[in-house]
Chain A
Amino acid sequence: MSDAQTKSNKNWWVLFLPLVVFIGLVVFLLKGLGSDPTKLESVLIDKPVPEFSAVDLFNDNIQHTEKVLYDGPLLMNVWATWCPTCRAEHEFLNKLAAQGVPIVGLNYQDDSRAKAIDWLNTLGDPYTVNIFDPEGDVAFEFGVYGAPETYFIDANGKIRYRHVGDVNQRNWENKLQKIYQQLQQESSS
Protein backbone atom coordinates (compact mmCIF):
# COMPACT_ATOMS: atom_id res chain seq x y z
CA MET A 1 0.00 0.00 0.00
CA SER A 2 1.38 3.40 -0.92
CA ASP A 3 1.68 6.44 1.34
CA ALA A 4 -1.10 8.36 -0.34
CA GLN A 5 -3.52 5.50 0.04
CA THR A 6 -3.08 5.09 3.80
CA LYS A 7 -3.55 8.83 4.18
CA SER A 8 -6.84 8.86 2.28
CA ASN A 9 -8.08 5.86 4.27
CA LYS A 10 -7.38 7.67 7.48
CA ASN A 11 -9.24 10.80 6.49
CA TRP A 12 -12.27 9.34 4.75
CA TRP A 13 -14.57 10.53 7.55
CA VAL A 14 -13.71 14.14 6.75
CA LEU A 15 -15.86 13.74 3.65
CA PHE A 16 -18.91 13.28 5.90
CA LEU A 17 -18.27 16.44 7.89
CA PRO A 18 -20.28 18.72 5.55
CA LEU A 19 -23.21 16.26 5.70
CA VAL A 20 -23.14 16.25 9.50
CA VAL A 21 -23.02 20.06 9.59
CA PHE A 22 -25.86 20.20 7.06
CA ILE A 23 -28.08 17.85 9.08
CA GLY A 24 -27.36 19.87 12.22
CA LEU A 25 -28.40 23.07 10.44
CA VAL A 26 -31.58 21.47 9.09
CA VAL A 27 -32.64 20.34 12.56
CA PHE A 28 -31.86 23.79 14.03
CA LEU A 29 -33.71 25.70 11.31
CA LEU A 30 -36.71 23.35 11.28
CA LYS A 31 -37.16 23.96 14.98
CA GLY A 32 -37.20 27.68 14.29
CA LEU A 33 -39.83 27.26 11.57
CA GLY A 34 -42.38 25.85 14.01
CA SER A 35 -41.99 28.52 16.68
CA ASP A 36 -43.98 31.75 16.66
CA PRO A 37 -41.59 34.70 17.07
CA THR A 38 -44.35 36.88 18.52
CA LYS A 39 -44.75 34.56 21.51
CA LEU A 40 -42.46 35.43 24.37
CA GLU A 41 -41.60 33.21 27.28
CA SER A 42 -42.52 34.92 30.54
CA VAL A 43 -39.59 35.54 32.87
CA LEU A 44 -41.87 35.30 35.88
CA ILE A 45 -42.45 31.54 35.57
CA ASP A 46 -42.02 29.86 38.99
CA LYS A 47 -41.83 33.25 40.67
CA PRO A 48 -44.39 34.59 43.14
CA VAL A 49 -46.93 37.04 41.74
CA PRO A 50 -45.57 40.59 41.84
CA GLU A 51 -46.89 43.04 44.41
CA PHE A 52 -49.52 45.51 43.29
CA SER A 53 -52.43 47.53 44.49
CA ALA A 54 -55.40 48.50 42.33
CA VAL A 55 -59.07 49.30 42.68
CA ASP A 56 -61.97 47.08 41.77
CA LEU A 57 -63.46 47.63 38.33
CA PHE A 58 -66.97 48.13 39.76
CA ASN A 59 -66.18 49.82 43.02
CA ASP A 60 -63.58 52.50 43.73
CA ASN A 61 -63.74 51.77 47.44
CA ILE A 62 -62.46 48.23 47.11
CA GLN A 63 -58.69 47.84 46.86
CA HIS A 64 -57.16 44.65 45.49
CA THR A 65 -53.61 43.52 46.06
CA GLU A 66 -51.61 40.50 44.93
CA LYS A 67 -53.31 38.67 47.85
CA VAL A 68 -56.35 37.99 45.63
CA LEU A 69 -54.10 35.73 43.55
CA TYR A 70 -53.11 33.60 46.54
CA ASP A 71 -56.45 31.74 46.52
CA GLY A 72 -55.20 29.47 43.78
CA PRO A 73 -54.88 27.50 41.78
CA LEU A 74 -56.53 30.04 39.52
CA LEU A 75 -56.23 31.82 36.21
CA MET A 76 -55.61 35.53 35.71
CA ASN A 77 -56.94 36.80 32.42
CA VAL A 78 -55.75 40.11 30.92
CA TRP A 79 -58.43 41.71 28.78
CA ALA A 80 -59.80 44.94 27.34
CA THR A 81 -62.77 45.99 25.24
CA TRP A 82 -60.46 47.23 22.45
CA CYS A 83 -59.13 43.71 22.01
CA PRO A 84 -61.07 41.64 19.44
CA THR A 85 -59.45 38.37 20.51
CA CYS A 86 -60.71 38.98 24.05
CA ARG A 87 -64.22 39.14 22.62
CA ALA A 88 -63.58 35.85 20.84
CA GLU A 89 -62.47 34.05 23.99
CA HIS A 90 -65.09 35.56 26.29
CA GLU A 91 -67.72 32.88 25.66
CA PHE A 92 -65.23 30.19 26.53
CA LEU A 93 -64.17 31.96 29.73
CA ASN A 94 -67.85 32.04 30.75
CA LYS A 95 -67.94 28.31 30.17
CA LEU A 96 -64.83 27.69 32.26
CA ALA A 97 -66.22 29.83 35.07
CA ALA A 98 -69.44 27.81 34.97
CA GLN A 99 -67.35 24.65 35.34
CA GLY A 100 -65.86 26.13 38.50
CA VAL A 101 -62.50 27.39 37.27
CA PRO A 102 -61.71 30.56 39.22
CA ILE A 103 -60.59 33.37 36.88
CA VAL A 104 -59.36 36.75 38.05
CA GLY A 105 -59.88 39.48 35.45
CA LEU A 106 -57.33 42.22 34.86
CA ASN A 107 -58.88 45.01 32.81
CA TYR A 108 -55.86 46.37 30.95
CA GLN A 109 -55.70 49.98 29.72
CA ASP A 110 -59.27 50.01 28.56
CA ASP A 111 -60.78 52.90 26.59
CA SER A 112 -63.13 53.66 29.46
CA ARG A 113 -64.32 52.10 32.66
CA ALA A 114 -67.95 52.38 31.56
CA LYS A 115 -67.22 50.39 28.42
CA ALA A 116 -65.56 47.63 30.44
CA ILE A 117 -68.45 47.41 32.91
CA ASP A 118 -70.95 47.42 30.05
CA TRP A 119 -69.06 44.55 28.38
CA LEU A 120 -69.29 42.39 31.50
CA ASN A 121 -72.95 43.26 32.03
CA THR A 122 -73.95 42.31 28.49
CA LEU A 123 -71.60 39.39 27.75
CA GLY A 124 -71.49 37.90 31.23
CA ASP A 125 -68.86 38.18 33.94
CA PRO A 126 -66.68 35.07 34.24
CA TYR A 127 -64.36 36.71 36.77
CA THR A 128 -64.24 36.08 40.50
CA VAL A 129 -62.39 39.37 41.00
CA ASN A 130 -62.19 42.31 38.62
CA ILE A 131 -59.02 44.40 38.82
CA PHE A 132 -59.07 47.80 37.15
CA ASP A 133 -55.74 48.76 35.60
CA PRO A 134 -56.29 51.88 33.45
CA GLU A 135 -52.60 52.86 33.24
CA GLY A 136 -51.32 49.32 32.83
CA ASP A 137 -49.19 49.55 35.99
CA VAL A 138 -50.27 46.15 37.31
CA ALA A 139 -49.84 44.57 33.88
CA PHE A 140 -46.34 46.06 33.63
CA GLU A 141 -45.31 44.17 36.76
CA PHE A 142 -46.44 40.94 35.11
CA GLY A 143 -44.61 41.70 31.87
CA VAL A 144 -47.87 41.83 29.92
CA TYR A 145 -47.18 42.80 26.31
CA GLY A 146 -50.60 42.39 24.79
CA ALA A 147 -54.09 41.14 25.35
CA PRO A 148 -55.38 38.60 25.90
CA GLU A 149 -52.90 36.85 28.14
CA THR A 150 -53.76 34.22 30.72
CA TYR A 151 -51.59 33.41 33.72
CA PHE A 152 -51.80 30.12 35.58
CA ILE A 153 -51.17 30.70 39.28
CA ASP A 154 -50.71 27.88 41.76
CA ALA A 155 -51.98 27.52 45.33
CA ASN A 156 -48.83 29.19 46.67
CA GLY A 157 -49.28 32.28 44.54
CA LYS A 158 -46.57 31.36 42.08
CA ILE A 159 -46.92 32.01 38.36
CA ARG A 160 -46.53 28.66 36.65
CA TYR A 161 -47.53 29.29 33.06
CA ARG A 162 -48.43 32.12 30.72
CA HIS A 163 -50.67 31.64 27.72
CA VAL A 164 -50.54 34.36 25.05
CA GLY A 165 -53.60 34.68 22.82
CA ASP A 166 -57.12 33.41 23.24
CA VAL A 167 -58.10 30.47 25.37
CA ASN A 168 -60.48 28.23 23.41
CA GLN A 169 -61.95 24.75 23.50
CA ARG A 170 -59.12 23.34 21.40
CA ASN A 171 -56.07 24.65 23.27
CA TRP A 172 -57.81 24.13 26.61
CA GLU A 173 -58.37 20.45 25.86
CA ASN A 174 -54.99 19.95 24.24
CA LYS A 175 -52.78 21.69 26.75
CA LEU A 176 -54.12 24.22 29.21
CA GLN A 177 -56.50 21.97 31.11
CA LYS A 178 -53.64 19.61 31.93
CA ILE A 179 -51.63 22.48 33.35
CA TYR A 180 -54.57 23.60 35.50
CA GLN A 181 -55.29 20.05 36.71
CA GLN A 182 -51.64 19.62 37.59
CA LEU A 183 -51.84 22.71 39.82
CA GLN A 184 -55.03 21.34 41.42
CA GLN A 185 -53.39 17.99 42.15
CA GLU A 186 -50.40 19.71 43.72
CA SER A 187 -52.60 21.76 46.06
CA SER A 188 -54.73 18.80 47.18
CA SER A 189 -51.81 16.49 47.87
Chain B
Amino acid sequence: MSLLKGLLGMVTLVFSMALLAQQVTYDGYEFKTAEQRQTYQQLTQELRCPKCQNQNIADSNAPLAGDMRERAYNMVMQGHSKQEVIDHMVARYGNFAHYRPPFNLFTAVLWLAPLFIALVGIAIAIRMSRRRRQTVALSDQEREQLQQLKERSKDD
Protein backbone atom coordinates (compact mmCIF):
# COMPACT_ATOMS: atom_id res chain seq x y z
CA MET B 1 0.00 0.00 0.00
CA SER B 2 2.74 2.39 0.96
CA LEU B 3 4.65 1.33 -2.14
CA LEU B 4 1.68 2.20 -4.31
CA LYS B 5 1.31 5.54 -2.58
CA GLY B 6 4.99 6.28 -3.09
CA LEU B 7 4.78 5.38 -6.76
CA LEU B 8 1.72 7.57 -7.22
CA GLY B 9 3.52 10.41 -5.50
CA MET B 10 6.51 9.98 -7.79
CA VAL B 11 4.37 9.99 -10.92
CA THR B 12 2.57 13.13 -9.77
CA LEU B 13 5.87 14.81 -9.01
CA VAL B 14 7.35 13.99 -12.43
CA PHE B 15 4.24 15.22 -14.23
CA SER B 16 4.04 18.45 -12.29
CA MET B 17 7.75 19.06 -12.81
CA ALA B 18 7.41 18.53 -16.55
CA LEU B 19 4.49 20.94 -16.60
CA LEU B 20 6.43 23.49 -14.58
CA ALA B 21 9.51 23.21 -16.78
CA GLN B 22 7.42 23.75 -19.87
CA GLN B 23 5.99 26.84 -18.35
CA VAL B 24 9.15 28.51 -17.18
CA THR B 25 11.87 27.66 -19.71
CA TYR B 26 12.20 30.05 -22.59
CA ASP B 27 14.97 31.06 -24.93
CA GLY B 28 17.37 28.71 -23.16
CA TYR B 29 16.79 30.48 -19.87
CA GLU B 30 15.06 29.03 -16.83
CA PHE B 31 12.59 31.10 -14.89
CA LYS B 32 11.11 30.56 -11.45
CA THR B 33 7.67 31.78 -12.39
CA ALA B 34 5.65 32.19 -15.55
CA GLU B 35 5.40 35.87 -14.74
CA GLN B 36 9.17 36.31 -14.89
CA ARG B 37 9.22 34.53 -18.21
CA GLN B 38 6.53 36.82 -19.54
CA THR B 39 8.39 39.95 -18.39
CA TYR B 40 11.55 38.69 -20.07
CA GLN B 41 9.64 37.88 -23.24
CA GLN B 42 8.08 41.35 -23.36
CA LEU B 43 11.46 42.98 -22.74
CA THR B 44 13.18 41.17 -25.58
CA GLN B 45 10.35 42.20 -27.89
CA GLU B 46 10.45 45.85 -26.86
CA LEU B 47 14.17 46.45 -26.53
CA ARG B 48 15.98 47.36 -29.69
CA CYS B 49 19.41 46.14 -30.68
CA PRO B 50 21.71 49.22 -30.93
CA LYS B 51 24.03 47.44 -33.35
CA CYS B 52 21.25 46.62 -35.81
CA GLN B 53 19.20 49.10 -37.76
CA ASN B 54 15.74 47.77 -36.98
CA GLN B 55 15.55 44.61 -34.92
CA ASN B 56 14.51 43.86 -31.38
CA ILE B 57 16.92 41.91 -29.21
CA ALA B 58 14.77 38.77 -29.45
CA ASP B 59 15.22 38.58 -33.23
CA SER B 60 18.81 39.76 -33.52
CA ASN B 61 21.82 37.45 -33.69
CA ALA B 62 24.26 40.26 -32.93
CA PRO B 63 26.51 39.51 -29.94
CA LEU B 64 25.41 42.75 -28.33
CA ALA B 65 21.76 41.65 -28.51
CA GLY B 66 22.83 38.45 -26.74
CA ASP B 67 24.52 40.50 -24.02
CA MET B 68 21.37 42.57 -23.61
CA ARG B 69 19.18 39.46 -23.36
CA GLU B 70 21.50 38.10 -20.69
CA ARG B 71 21.41 41.39 -18.80
CA ALA B 72 17.62 41.50 -19.05
CA TYR B 73 17.35 37.90 -17.82
CA ASN B 74 19.67 38.51 -14.88
CA MET B 75 17.82 41.65 -13.86
CA VAL B 76 14.42 39.97 -14.09
CA MET B 77 15.69 37.08 -11.96
CA GLN B 78 17.03 39.57 -9.40
CA GLY B 79 13.50 40.87 -9.06
CA HIS B 80 13.77 44.07 -11.08
CA SER B 81 10.59 45.28 -12.74
CA LYS B 82 10.15 45.59 -16.47
CA GLN B 83 10.45 49.38 -16.30
CA GLU B 84 13.66 49.16 -14.28
CA VAL B 85 15.25 46.97 -16.94
CA ILE B 86 14.15 49.38 -19.68
CA ASP B 87 15.54 52.36 -17.74
CA HIS B 88 18.79 50.47 -17.23
CA MET B 89 19.19 49.93 -20.98
CA VAL B 90 18.08 53.43 -21.96
CA ALA B 91 20.56 54.96 -19.47
CA ARG B 92 23.38 53.25 -21.38
CA TYR B 93 22.20 53.01 -24.97
CA GLY B 94 19.71 55.87 -25.19
CA ASN B 95 16.12 55.99 -26.36
CA PHE B 96 17.27 54.20 -29.48
CA ALA B 97 17.29 51.01 -27.42
CA HIS B 98 13.55 51.08 -26.73
CA TYR B 99 10.79 50.76 -29.28
CA ARG B 100 8.50 53.12 -27.38
CA PRO B 101 10.19 56.51 -27.31
CA PRO B 102 9.15 58.82 -24.47
CA PHE B 103 7.22 62.00 -25.13
CA ASN B 104 9.55 65.01 -25.00
CA LEU B 105 10.58 68.02 -27.05
CA PHE B 106 12.61 65.95 -29.52
CA THR B 107 9.97 63.28 -30.06
CA ALA B 108 6.95 65.61 -30.01
CA VAL B 109 6.80 65.67 -33.82
CA LEU B 110 6.83 61.89 -33.88
CA TRP B 111 3.88 61.63 -31.54
CA LEU B 112 1.84 64.64 -32.64
CA ALA B 113 2.27 64.58 -36.43
CA PRO B 114 -0.29 61.79 -37.05
CA LEU B 115 -2.85 63.56 -34.85
CA PHE B 116 -2.15 66.88 -36.55
CA ILE B 117 -2.47 65.42 -40.04
CA ALA B 118 -5.73 63.67 -39.09
CA LEU B 119 -7.15 66.95 -37.73
CA VAL B 120 -6.17 68.86 -40.87
CA GLY B 121 -7.82 66.16 -42.97
CA ILE B 122 -11.04 66.32 -40.96
CA ALA B 123 -11.06 70.13 -41.17
CA ILE B 124 -10.65 70.04 -44.95
CA ALA B 125 -13.40 67.41 -45.29
CA ILE B 126 -15.82 69.49 -43.21
CA ARG B 127 -15.10 72.64 -45.19
CA MET B 128 -15.57 70.89 -48.50
CA SER B 129 -18.87 69.31 -47.51
CA ARG B 130 -20.15 72.66 -46.22
CA ARG B 131 -19.26 74.43 -49.44
CA ARG B 132 -21.11 71.82 -51.44
CA ARG B 133 -24.24 72.20 -49.34
CA GLN B 134 -24.50 75.98 -49.85
CA THR B 135 -27.63 76.84 -51.88
CA VAL B 136 -27.03 78.76 -55.02
CA ALA B 137 -28.97 82.00 -55.04
CA LEU B 138 -30.73 82.75 -58.33
CA SER B 139 -31.24 86.21 -59.65
CA ASP B 140 -34.77 87.29 -60.58
CA GLN B 141 -34.01 86.86 -64.23
CA GLU B 142 -32.72 83.33 -63.71
CA ARG B 143 -35.77 82.44 -61.63
CA GLU B 144 -38.01 83.55 -64.47
CA GLN B 145 -36.05 81.46 -66.95
CA LEU B 146 -36.35 78.44 -64.68
CA GLN B 147 -40.07 78.93 -64.42
CA GLN B 148 -40.35 79.10 -68.17
CA LEU B 149 -38.35 75.91 -68.59
CA LYS B 150 -40.52 74.11 -66.10
CA GLU B 151 -43.71 75.20 -67.86
CA ARG B 152 -42.32 74.17 -71.22
CA SER B 153 -41.51 70.69 -69.96
CA LYS B 154 -45.03 70.40 -68.57
CA ASP B 155 -46.51 71.28 -71.95
CA ASP B 156 -44.52 68.55 -73.75
Residues of A within 8 A of B (CB): 37-38, 40-44, 109, 136, 140-143, 145-146
Contacts and interface: CB of A to CB of B under 8 A. Distances in A.
Contacts of B90: 43
Contacts of B67: 136, 140
Nearest to A141: B92
B94 A43 contact: yes
A42 B64 CA distance: 16
A43 B53 contact: no
Contacts of A141: 92
B51 A42 contact: no
Interface bin, chain B: 10 to 19
Contacts, number: 32
Interface of B: 50-51, 53, 63-64, 67, 71, 90-94, 96
Given A109-B63, A136-B67, A146 B94 contact: no
Given A109-B63, A145-B64, A37 B94 contact: no
Contact of A42 (B53, B63, B94): B94
B136 to A, nearest CB: 14
A140 B71 contact: yes
A40 B53 contact: no
A143 B88 CA distance: 11
12 contacts: A38-B53, A40-B94, A43-B90, A136-B67, A140-B67, A140-B71, A141-B92, A142-B92, A143-B94, A145-B64, A145-B93, A146-B64
